[in-house]
Amino acid sequence: MDEGRNGGRPGDRRSAVMEDVAELAGVSAMTVSRVLNSPERVRPATRSRVLAAMRELDYRPNLAARVLATGRSGVLGVVSFDTTLYGPASTLYGIERAARAHDYLISIVSLSELNRRTIGEGVDRLRGQNVDGVIIVAPHESAAEGLRDLPPELPLVVVGAAEHLPFPLASVDQRLGAVRAVRHLLSLGHETVWHLSGPASWVDANGRAAGWRATLEEAGRAAPEVLVGDWSARSGYRLGQRLARDPSVTAVFAANDAMALGLLRALREAGRRVPEDVSVVGFDDVPESPYFSPPLTTVHQNFGEVGTSAFALMLDRIGDGSDGGSGPRRIVEPELVVRESTGASR
């Protein structure tokens, strides 16, 4: 049955175009086009002749031509910060899956630096490729500037950033995650909780820090000085060495799992046991966190769902042609996952 991917007469180099199919089926090109775009408008008998011809010639519509004629490409652009990181990579994956289910393709631009210029350039490159819309995975505070001067007619969805700007937004409620983490630690009897934060330039870092601070204040506890890291295990380790020297530290909320890992390492080296001497909570719930030593209590973020939500927002935005109004939001709730790195205060 399968004639291989190059059906038709053996000699034909150029791949088949609509006209070829039309000729073989004995109809006009327009009818072929209709079979593709509104099949119900062509008589079943004709339709099947056309379909057969398509199969025979292994016809595939030329997208460039369709784009030129219709103005829409079926491609969505994604501008993302460092797709090597667990969060962005997972979000991207979620977007890709959702997109595929709706027959969209994803073109990506990964940025290793986020600012007004790089975001603008990334979007420009994608616009040049006629993407139908752009999803920006831009967890930096500075991303907001880059978003302001983007052309307003371009459908845009933002993931995890620029909460105060009027764009459709999908993200995880960072603040809530932090609140849950800190409440958990307080409920175990800890007097206060230290915080190992991410860089202040990151939206997520600030959300988590804000949740941490608010929860402590609400409970009437003093908030210790924040230690600022850069998300890496290395920075968690460095800062952890400082914490390990201070015997008053009994509970630490690290802004992500990698820093928590570094922290665990530093505590261990200093002879401080977890959770007996110090309790540690992370954030992200990377797949490895149950196997840290000890298994890490952390806040689970469903990145896949964020990706799906972002795509759904984009679909709305493209579909109804509205400008997205004042920015619909889809906020995903994070969950605390309790493992063995947290325990009662001495």
Partner DNA sequence: CCCCGGAATGTTATCGCTAACATTATGAGG
Partner DNA sequence: CCTCATAATGTTAGCGATAACATTCCGGGG
Which residues lie near a second copy (CB under 8 A)?
4-6, 60-65, 67-68, 73-75, 82-84, 86, 89-90, 92-93, 96-97, 100, 105-110, 112, 120, 124-130, 149-151, 232-234, 236-237, 258, 261-262, 264-265, 268, 287-288, 290-293, 295
In whole angstroms, the minimum distance from the beta carbon of 55 to DNA comes to 15
Whichever of 17 and 270 has its CB closer to DNA, that residue is 17
Closest C-alpha to 160, from 76, 284, 263: 284
Task: Copy the structure tokens of residue 300.
Answer: 């689970």
- 19 touches which of DNA, a second copy, none (CB within 5 to 8 A by kind)? DNA
Out of 3, 30, 117, 242, which residue is the one contacting DNA (CB under 7 A)?
A: 30
33 binds, among a second copy, DNA, none (CB under 5 to 8 A by kind): DNA
Give the span between the Cα atoms of 210 and 205, in whole angstroms: 9
Residue 318 interacts with DNA (CB under 7 A): yes or no: no
The letter for the amino acid at 83 is T
Question: Cβ distance 168 to 327 under 8 Å?
Answer: yes
Residue 33 or 192 having the CB closest to a second copy: 33
**Local structure of residue 343 (DSSP, 8 states):** -
CA atoms within 13 A on the CB side of 88: 21
d(CA 146, CA 25): 52
Work out what residue 41 binds among DNA, a second copy, none; the CB cut-off runs from 5 to 8 Å by kind: DNA
Nearer CB in complex with a second copy: 31/256: 256
217-to-129, 251, 289 alpha-carbon distances in Å: 50, 16, 29
* Of residues 68 and 219, the one with the C-beta less far from DNA: 68
Helix (H) or strand (E) holding 267: helix 257-269
Three-class DSSP category at 139: coil
Nearer to a second copy, 217 or 276 (CB): 276
Least distance to a second copy from the beta carbon of 22, Å? Answer: 19
Cα R_g (the chain), whole angstroms: 26
Distances (CA, A) of 206 to 139, 234, 312: 10, 20, 26
Give the x-and-dash track for 68-107 against DNA (CB under 7 A). xxx-------------------------------------
Interacting residue with DNA among 3, 6, 12, 41 (CB under 7 A)? 41
CA-based torsion, 51, 57, 63, 65: positive or negative: negative
Q: How far apart are CA 61 and CA 248, in angstroms?
A: 68
Please tell me whether residue 42 binds DNA under the rule CB under 7 A.
yes
Q: Is residue 28 close enough to count as binding DNA by CB under 7 A?
A: yes
Which residues in this chain contact DNA in the complex, by CB under 7 A?
14, 17-19, 26-34, 36-37, 41-43, 45-47, 61-62, 65-66, 68-70
